[in-house]
A and B are shown apart, each in its own frame.
Chain A
Amino acid sequence: AQKVTQAQTEISVVEKEDVTLDCVYETRDTTYYLFWYKQPPSGELVFLIRRNSFDEQNEISGRYSWNFQKSTSSFNFTITASQVVDSAVYFCALSQNFGNEKLTFGTGTRLTIIP
């Protein structure tokens, strides 16, 4: 069975601070995919990133960066110089590689950026 744990239920930081959202996953598959989605107050899930289990290179996209460490089964997400628009619930998710990409989500981390 697959499982995703986001231990941080809520985080608040002051604008311009950096913040890291933690994600730990469990799977028996050797090939799998990891995702981050953003859910702003409007409710629609917005795709941020997908990584496969063979690619442990960290990735940076603007103010966003992701740290994938297979040894600790973690896929953490860092926002640098946070902005008020970053306020949202962030979900980490996991899928198998058997032609069915159903996602297993964590419970999410509510991030509030204080102006």
Chain B
Amino acid sequence: GAGVSQTPSNKVTEKGKYVELRCDPISGHTALYWYRQSLGQGPEFLIYFQGTGAADDSGLPNDRFFAVRPEGSVSTLKIQRTERGDSAVYLCASSQSSASTDTQYFGPGTRLTVL
């Protein structure tokens, strides 16, 4: 079946602009995670959804970052007033549930470049 998909694959924007990054999880997966990967680093957790609600947003760096998952499937990560330091690859993952026995499957990521 189809894996996790993310759009766009690349996004170039100017400092101060607003961006939206989209994630389509694997069909039927109730848990969805966003991570951010800076160059040469491992992915860092941002936010996790169980269904429609954000169960843990402790990784969001500040209030410029926000994510939604209104129907419990597709999720959008929104970044306001982008800064150059926001440049990174944003990864989405989904798992069948939030149970610790479930594996997270990752999408290809969106590479965000803020000029």
Contact = CB atoms under 8 A, between A and B. Distances in A.
Interface of A: 4, 31, 33, 37, 42-47, 50, 52, 91, 93, 95-108
Interface in B41-77: 41-45, 48, 55-56, 59
Contacts, number: 66
A31 to B, nearest CB: 8
Overall SS of chain A's interface: loop
Nearest to B47: A102
B98 interface: yes
B40 interface: yes
Contact of A44 (B48, B95, B107): B107
Contacts of A106: 42
Contact of A105 (B31, B40, B44): B44
Contact of B103 (A31, A50, A107): A50
14 contacts: A37-B106, A45-B106, A47-B103, A47-B104, A96-B100, A100-B48, A100-B55, A101-B98, A102-B56, A102-B59, A105-B44, A107-B40, A107-B41, A108-B40
